Chain A
Amino acid sequence: MSGRVLVGVKRVIDYAVKIRVKPDHSGVVTEGVKHSMNPFCEIAVEEAVKMKEKKLIKEVVVVSCGPQQVQETIRTALAMGADRGIHVEVLAKDYESLGPLQVSKIMAALAKKEEAQLVILGKQAIDGDCNQTGQMTAALLDWSQGTFASEVTLEGGQVKVVREIDGGLETIKINTPAVITADLRLNTPRYATLPNIMKAKKKKIANVKPVDLGVELTSKLEVLRVDEPPQRQAGVKVETVDDLVGKLKEAGRI
């Protein structure tokens, strides 16, 4: 395959940050909080860049939807080795309600426009935890899907995908063009080196609006409220193993 790979990346609250629910229960606090690329998206970028290094594909195009700040995330992907970026500009007021259905419509439209042979996405984002965008992008394009991938091998016009399923692994062969979603074991993403970060500054990021792609952003899902999960009470510390076993028995746990 000598085609083009489209990779979606999402800017999310950094995985090491402890999130806080807003006092008015409208969402979580995002202002002044460290953000970075969704870890699963990093794996997707890495996989595409590796394909390019092996000369299996010719170009890696990275896409992110959101306000101005998502350009940083695109730059990170460019520093990892992607060739160029597309920033799909979604204004802050629309961004709150932007869901996987709208994003997959954008990805599907771009996949057609860019004549991509593969779309690689993370299996889910660690903010919404939806795990939908890849499957829906494949559906809208009528392409095959290789989700939760832990191993991807290009074989002519097909892709062999080893998938993470409950209790083990599954192997499928899917026709290209296809959508792949990355699971944790697919690879270990590289760190962007300083020279590559400098190089990435010169790479191009195109600006596109959803309306240019014919995508309507209204959503029929309405978040009524966001709450903290019920707090657990801190328990007791026991001194010895016998105490621990005793307490567990008392609590009927063993």
Chain B
Amino acid sequence: QSTLVVAEHNNDKLTPITLSAITAASKLGGEVTCLVAGTECSKVVEEVSKVQGVKKVLVAQHDAYKGALPEELTPLILATQQQFTFTHICAGASAFGKNLLPRVAAKLDVAPISDIIEIKSPDTFVRTIYAGNALSTVKCNESVKVFTVRGTSFEPAAVEGGSATSEAVASPSPAGLSEWVEQNLSKSDRPELTGAKVVVSGGRGLKSGENFKLLYDLAEKMNAAVGASRAAVDAGYVPNDMQVGQTGKIVAPELYIAVGISGAIQHLAGMKDSKDPEAPIFQVADFGLVADLFKVRSRFS
């Protein structure tokens, strides 16, 4: 038994979710190998080599891996698989992993398993369905198990203490089907919604986009990410990428502060306008406060 973890990185640093994927891979038992493919990724190779649990690092450097396009990475992973015949192939369930691994799985003619939250045994995994409203335990009878790992469900592997060997792998000729143009990451000092430890979310109860500033200020103080309910997004208060819920982002913070949110099931599905003291959100909240949010928040900050 052996597992390949496809590393996500920006040629400079490893993306934290890869450490969670390494933990999941270690839980399977057997040897853990990491594939680092990039344009100039020696720093990342060095970083991965020290991660606890990693036995070997496979390195593929080629200009074609700019932007981590799945059309280019898939043939590389297939060639690697042919050489080493891993029993499991995994990556973090990030935009990167979700984009790439299904493509790899289809080429291997196996059904992949997305976004696992628990490993029961080397062939049995738990994942959420219906945006977290149900848990599905799935047995995978494929010859190679391909899966992505939810970052918040597995502790990151220790970044020190490992001493993996590294080995270069040959790059297949570029597919040339796609071209990476640019990336525009939101410039915010606040943490990313899906990985944040504290999330402050606003709903229609905030009444306007300007009033979200109250939440930004609060979030700043608490080092929190800011989310929103679909109602607030639909009302045009904030952009779509802030939406928490069934059709938006799934968050897993230690503290979730919902302000002016009634807690419709679609919203609860994502975390788990209202003056309603009986609002559904109070059924899942540890602490609820029924008050006028505009009077209350100044005290809070």
Knowing A171-B181, A241-B296, say if A220 contacts B140 (CB, 8 Å).
yes
Q: Is A76 an interface residue (CB 8 A)?
A: no
Expressed in whole angstroms, the Cα–Cα distance for A220 and B124 within the complex equals 12
Binary flags per residue of A137-153, CB closer than 8 Å to B gives 1, else 0: 11110011101101000
Number of A-B contacts (CB under 8 A): 231
Taking chain A's interface residues, is the majority helix, strand, or loop, or is none over half, making it mixed? mixed
Across-interface contacts of B127 in A (CB, < 8 A) = 129
Expressed in whole angstroms, the Cα–Cα distance for A164 and B240 within the complex equals 11
Binds A, one of B41-49, B160-168, B184-192: B184-192
Q: How far is the CB of B272 from chain A (nearest CB, A)?
A: 7
Q: Is B111 an interface residue (CB 8 A)?
A: yes
Q: Is the CB of B178 within 8 A of A175?
A: yes
Chain A: number of interface residues, binned into ranges: 35 or more
Across-interface contacts of A39 in B (CB, < 8 A) = 247
Q: Is the CB of A19 within 8 A of B183?
A: no
Among residues 214 to 240 in chain A, which have CB atoms less than 8 Å away from a CB atom of chain B? Answer: 219-229, 232, 234-240
Q: Is A106 an interface residue (CB 8 A)?
A: no
Q: Is A93 an interface residue (CB 8 A)?
A: no
Knowing A101-B106, A168-B186, say if A126 contacts B179 (CB, 8 Å).
no
Across-interface contacts of A100 in B (CB, < 8 A) = 102, 111-112
Across-interface contacts of B130 in A (CB, < 8 A) = 13, 19, 28, 126-127, 129
Q: Is the CB of A227 within 8 A of B299?
A: no
Q: Is B29 an interface residue (CB 8 A)?
A: no
Binary flags per residue of A106-139, CB closer than 8 Å to B gives 1, else 0: 0000000000000000000011111111011111
Across-interface contacts of A67 in B (CB, < 8 A) = none
Q: Is the CB of B282 within 8 A of A244?
A: no
Number of interface residues of B (CB under 8 A): 81
- The closest CB in chain A to the CB of B239 belongs to A185
Q: Is the CB of A101 within 8 A of B134?
A: no
- The closest CB in chain A to the CB of B126 belongs to A227
Q: Is the CB of B284 within 8 A of A232?
A: yes
Q: Is B110 an interface residue (CB 8 A)?
A: yes
Give the residue of A132, A164, A245 whose beta carbon is less than 8 angstroms from that of B241: A164
Q: Is the CB of B282 within 8 A of A226?
A: no
Q: Is the CB of A136 within 8 A of B181?
A: no
Across-interface contacts of B30 in A (CB, < 8 A) = none
Binds B, one of A45-53, A190-198, A200-208, A246-254: A246-254
Q: Is the CB of A238 within 8 A of B289?
A: yes
Q: Is B11 an interface residue (CB 8 A)?
A: no
Taking chain B's interface residues, is the majority helix, strand, or loop, or is none over half, making it mixed? mixed
Across-interface contacts of A170 in B (CB, < 8 A) = 67, 180-184
Binds A, one of B32-40, B57-65, B69-77, B207-215: B69-77
Q: Is A18 an interface residue (CB 8 A)?
A: yes
Expressed in whole angstroms, the Cα–Cα distance for A63 and B136 within the complex equals 27
Across-interface contacts of B247 in A (CB, < 8 A) = 15, 39-40, 126, 184
Q: How far is the CB of B182 from chain A (nearest CB, A)?
A: 5
Q: Is B52 an interface residue (CB 8 A)?
A: no
Knowing A170-B67, A170-B180, say if A219 contacts B111 (CB, 8 Å).
yes
Binary flags per residue of B285-298, CB closer than 8 Å to A gives 1, else 0: 11111110000100
Knowing A101-B105, A144-B177, A222-B139, say if A172 contacts B70 (CB, 8 Å).
no
Q: 16 A–B contact pairs at CB < 8 A?
A: A28-B134, A126-B246, A129-B114, A129-B128, A139-B106, A139-B107, A166-B94, A166-B96, A170-B183, A172-B69, A172-B180, A229-B132, A229-B134, A236-B287, A241-B299, A254-B255
Contacts beyond the supplied A135-B103, A145-B99: 7 A-B pairs with Cβ under 8 Å: A13-B130, A28-B129, A139-B74, A166-B194, A167-B185, A225-B137, A229-B135
> A interface vs B, CB < 8 Å?
13, 15-16, 18-19, 21, 28, 39-40, 99-101, 104, 126-133, 135-140, 143-145, 147-148, 150, 160, 163-175, 184-185, 219-229, 232, 234-245, 247-248, 251, 253-254
